[in-house]
Structure 1
Amino acid sequence: MKTPKDDRPSAHAPRSNRERTEATRHALLEAARGLFVEKGYGDTSTPEVSVAAGTTRGALYHHFIDKRDLFRQVLQRESQAVREDILAATPPDLSPRAALILGAQAYLRAMTMPGRTRLLLIDGPAVLGLSDAIAIDDAHAGDTLHEGLAAALGERADVDIASLATLLSAAFDRAALEIDAGADAQRVGEAMVWLVERVLAEGGKRTKTK
């Protein structure tokens, strides 16, 4: 009697070309991240990355234009990870105020990942330039902040939301740098929550000019 054929892939089935390609890319990004954090961008060479990833320089240049492109992709992946942590901490059923506060706390937690502050806030602007580093942030974590402020303040806002998000983002980055340098994470986090609450309280008030 025949048994039904099991169409599930075997644990030992060979990987597809796409799977091998993704595995190689992942290994290169992981190896590059480790070396960029340990040695810095300037002291890391592409041959070192290839060796650490267990692949060839040809494979590296198949996936990335050059070392700068590799570094950019590492930063984009780090920034995306921060965004995902913020989104995970702020489900859609939260009030805008609660989402901003929990998102602020999630951002600071996410930035404590070893090496992340150096990559995103120190080496990123130095290697790619400030405008490119800001663009990467705006596409990920910065986007969640802008959306959160717009939802919380809405039409009552008497301030340009984009400008406010830019300034508040700078405060968050400084807080992450302070924590990375050894400041008390709880105290810094509490100060940032206080700042967010003041922004929400004052953001909808019409200011008077002389």
Structure 2
Amino acid sequence: MTVKSRQAENSAATRAALLRIARRFFAERGYADTATEEIVRRARVTRGALYHHFKDKQDLFRAVLHEEQSKVAAKCMEAAAKESDTWRALIAANEAFLEACLDPAVQQIVLIDAPAVLGTEGFRQSDESYYLAGLKAAIEAAIAAGIIEKQPVETLAHMIMGSMNEAARLIAHASDKERARREVSESANRMWNGLRIDTTR
């Protein structure tokens, strides 16, 4: 191994350690009550190492958020990929998203802190970068299959994303999260079924 490759490996390991510790603290304590000094100490790196990889605390949070959002989006895609039917794939992805909302880390980092740290518009843009394209593709597939009536895909996708984000935050803030998740799932299914073309008539 060359000196350069060893340095790159060490740098990657340092970054991974910072992200791992930061995720734990952001999830358990929230953004406001997490100090970068403790992250550095627990990760056993210098403050210089932290600022080599991340501009500031918010930049570190963005990186942690990216990992969380990526994992949730991947779970949705995996759930959809297991279904051969277009409609069931769409519903499976929706259910996977709601199930992910029961994860305390997702609740605190993605649903509670991210809108406050990034601002409403910043969070919306971030959220769309992970889910909007996939949702639009799913809607387009459902329209092509004759399951959903032909309509402006962009508009419908934004409306669904908005409603599901509100539903996700409802789960995150609920005292009984399991119950909230069940109720949201039932309402979401009614919403989706309302979009479905009735082929029995």
Q: Secondary structure at the match of 2:55?
A: coil
Structure 2 distance, partners of 1:196, 1:145, is 13
With 97-106 and 186-195 compared, the bigger mean Cα shift is at 186-195
After superposition, give the CA deviation of every residue in 1:177-204 in whole Å (9 maximum; x if it has no partner).
23331241233212212212222338xx
Q: 1:175 to 1:16 in 2, by over 3 A?
A: same
For 2:152, the aligned partner's letter is D
Q: Does 1:194 align with 2:184?
A: no
Structure 2 Cα separation of the partners of residues 91 and 40 of structure 1: 33
Code of the residue aligned with 1:68 in structure 2: it is Q
Tell whether 2:129 aligns with 1:133: no
Aligned 8 A contact 2:40 2:46 in 1: yes
Name the counterpart of 2:142: 152
1:167 and 2:159 correspond? yes
Does residue 106 of structure 1 match 2:96? yes
Q: Classify the secondary structure of the residue corresponding to 1:29.
A: helix
Deviation by residue 1:99-144 (Cα, 9 ceiling, x = unmatched): 1100000111122211212221221111111122112211113332
Contact 2:26 2:108 in 1 (8 A): no
CA distance in 2, matches of 1:52, 1:174: 35
Asked whether the equivalents of residues 64 and 70 of structure 1 are also in contact (C-alpha less than 8 Å), the reply is yes
The answer to whether the 8 Å contact 2:83/2:89 transfers is no
**1:18 corresponds to which residue?**
8
The answer to whether residue 69 in structure 2 is matched with residue 73 in structure 1 is no
TM-score (norm 2): 0.83
Percent of pairs identical after alignment? 34
C-alpha distance in structure 2 between counterparts of 1:118 and 1:167, whole Å: 24
Q: For residues 199 and 54 of structure 1, do their structure 2 counterparts lie closer, same or farther at Cα, with a shift above 3 Å needed?
A: farther
- Farther-moved stretch of structure 1 (48-57 vs 169-178): 169-178
What's 2:47 paired with?
A: 57
Q: Matched residue of 2:197: which SS?
A: helix
| Equivalent-residue separation in structure 2 for 1:157 and 1:56 (angstroms) | 57
- Where structure 2 has 5 or more consecutive residues not aligned to the other structure, the ranges are none
- Cα deviation for residue 20 of structure 1 reads 2.2
Equivalent of residue 179 in structure 1, options 171, 184, 199 = 171
Gaps of 5+ in 1: 1-8, 10-14, 203-210
Shift of 1:80: 0.5
Which residue in the other structure is 1:206 paired with?
A: none
Partner SS state of residue 81, structure 2: coil
Question: 1:93, CA displacement in angstroms?
Answer: 6.1
Alignment-derived partner of residue 41 in structure 1: 31
Q: 2:18 aligns with which of 28, 31, 35?
A: 28
Task: Find the aligned partners of 2:43 and 2:131 in 1 and give their Cα distance.
Answer: 28
> C-alpha separation between the residues in 2 aligned to 1:117 and 1:37?
8
Structure 1 distance, partners of 2:12, 2:189, is 39
Q: Determine helix, strand or coil for the equivalent of 2:114.
A: helix
- The structure whose residues are more often helix, as a share, is 2
The 1:18–1:200 alpha-carbon spacing in structure 2 relative to 1, beyond 3 Å, is farther
- Corresponding residue for 1:95? 85
Structure 1 stretch displaced more, 85-94 or 165-174:
85-94
Shift of 1:95: 2.6
